[in-house]
Amino acid sequence: MASEITSSFAFNREELKDWSKVINELTFGDPTLNDLHDIEQGIKYNQQIVFAGRMGLMGKTVSGCTPNAVAGVALTEKTWTPVDMDFRLEHCSADVNAQDKLIRQMSKMNPDFYNVIEGSNSVVGNFLVAKVVEGFNENLLRQAWFSDTAAALTTGGGVFKVGTDLGFFNSFNGLFKQIFTEIPNTDAKYVAITKNAAASYALQALAANDAINTLKAMYNKADSRLLDSGSAKFYVTRSIWDGYLNDLESIQNSGAGNTIINENGQVQLTYRGIPVVKIEIWDRVISAYQDNGTKWNLPHRAVLSTPMNLKIGTLATGDFGALEAFYDQYHKVNIIDGVYTIDAKHLEKYLTVVAY
């Protein structure tokens, strides 16, 4: 007769709690991520984000005893709707390729060989958790920008490559979906990149001056409050970043606000004093998952906005939701489980110009 006694527990809970904090600090505290986005921790489901509109015109010539009325302040709102996400990484030491020198050098064939969570082979477990931390930032950006609840494959009228597991993309509406909805190609804050509509990979390549002309058009359409914010950035695909660099080198323009700066061996670009930031994860996602076999879906994209206007939210406050790492002795497998919440919000349209 099967036993009716069951148990469920996480191995070394206090240590894992510390790992959750480490992931939180390395992810949501990452300076690069925070340079690009305002990170909101501790958000609640259906928590409101309230916006107060500007006052209208005030002051007319006095006429009689009744003062001239002015319009009031219009309040609008958006709502955080964080979704629960999880992942599992399983590792069996016996399945590691014998030629994988890195893992084999870490491991020792002894009673601890299978268990990499603790003991003499814990260096392997630490390595695996470190890889989880490394990969999470990239996945966070992928989810924040490309998620779309209506995601569909190209065979179903969508933009995702056949074979793509849409479960990685359809949990919530990310920043591209929100921005494209709020700033369609008929909007005054939209700049067309005509090469995006070309019929093949080759024809989609940017020509000379396409990139610099795109940035110029975006700048000219920007609200003065965005340009004067002191935190505006051009978020661009590598294709636009490379094209802009080529344009600058061609015209040898290192002044007039169009600047190439070499800092610690890295090229930094600005356009009229505004940083131009290359978001390579955009290009990687587009080339890997938004490809219909003939051309890419909008391979050239640029967003002129501020980190405060492009928010990423999580319920976490000081730790990464939950991270559990444990060794299943019966199956001789090491398991790392992660659970977290995420949402993204494009806040105010007037603080954004988009090119696609």
The pLDDT, as a whole number, for residue 78 is 85
| 3-state SS class at 110 | coil
Q: What is the pLDDT of residues 37-61, one digit of tens each?
A: 998 888 877 777 766 656 667 777 7
116 pLDDT above the threshold of 80: no
Residue 24: closest CA among 339, 343, 347 = 339
Q: What is the pLDDT of residues 196-237, one digit of tens each?
A: 999 999 999 999 999 999 999 999 999 999 999 999 999 999
Residue 168: closest CA among 145, 136, 150, 143 = 143
CA distance 63 to 66: 7
325 pLDDT above the threshold of 80: no
Q: Is the Cβ–Cβ distance between 263 and 134 less than 8 Å?
A: no
Enter the DSSP assignment of 139.
Answer: H
Confidence bin at 310 (pLDDT 50/70/90)? very high
| Residue 307 CB neighbours (<10 A) | 18
| 3-state SS class at 330 | coil
Q: Is the Cβ–Cβ distance between 39 and 144 less than 8 Å?
A: no
The pLDDT, as a whole number, for residue 349 is 96
The pLDDT, as a whole number, for residue 102 is 47
Q: Is the Cβ–Cβ distance between 353 and 221 less than 8 Å?
A: yes
Q: Is the Cβ–Cβ distance between 311 and 38 less than 8 Å?
A: yes
Residue with tokens 């940035």: 215
CA distance 292 to 314: 33
The pLDDT, as a whole number, for residue 219 is 98
Mean pLDDT confidence for 134-149: 89
The percent of residues above 70 in pLDDT, for the chain, comes to 77
Q: What is the mean pLDDT of the chain?
A: 82
Top-confidence residue, 127 or 147: 147
Residue 253: closest CA among 312, 288, 319, 209 = 209
Mean pLDDT confidence for 74-83: 80
Find which of 3-17, 73-87, 92-106, 297-311 is predicted with most confidence, using mean pLDDT. 297-311
331 pLDDT above the threshold of 90: no
Confidence bin at 311 (pLDDT 50/70/90)? very high
Find which of 27-31, 105-109, 281-285 is predicted with most confidence, using mean pLDDT. 281-285
CA distance 281 to 142: 7
8 pLDDT above the threshold of 50: no
The pLDDT, as a whole number, for residue 9 is 37
The pLDDT, as a whole number, for residue 131 is 76
Domain ranges of the chain: 13-50+75-355
Q: Is the dihedral of CA 316, 167, 235, 303 positive or negative?
A: negative
Q: Residue 177: what residue type?
A: K
The pLDDT, as a whole number, for residue 98 is 43
The pLDDT, as a whole number, for residue 24 is 66
Alpha helices by DSSP H, the chain: 13-27, 31-36, 101-106, 122-146, 175-182, 210-221, 224-227, 238-251, 280-289
Whole-structure pTM value: 0.80
Residue 348: closest CA among 109, 215, 110, 182 = 182
Confidence bin at 18 (pLDDT 50/70/90)? low
User: Among 23-27, 133-137, 341-345, which stretch is predicted with the lowest mean pLDDT?
Assistant: 23-27
Enter the DSSP assignment of 53.
Answer: P
Q: What is the pLDDT of residues 169-193, one digit of tens each?
A: 999 999 999 999 999 999 999 999 9
User: Among 7-11, 162-166, 352-356, which stretch is predicted with the lowest mean pLDDT?
Assistant: 7-11
Top-confidence residue, 254 or 333: 333
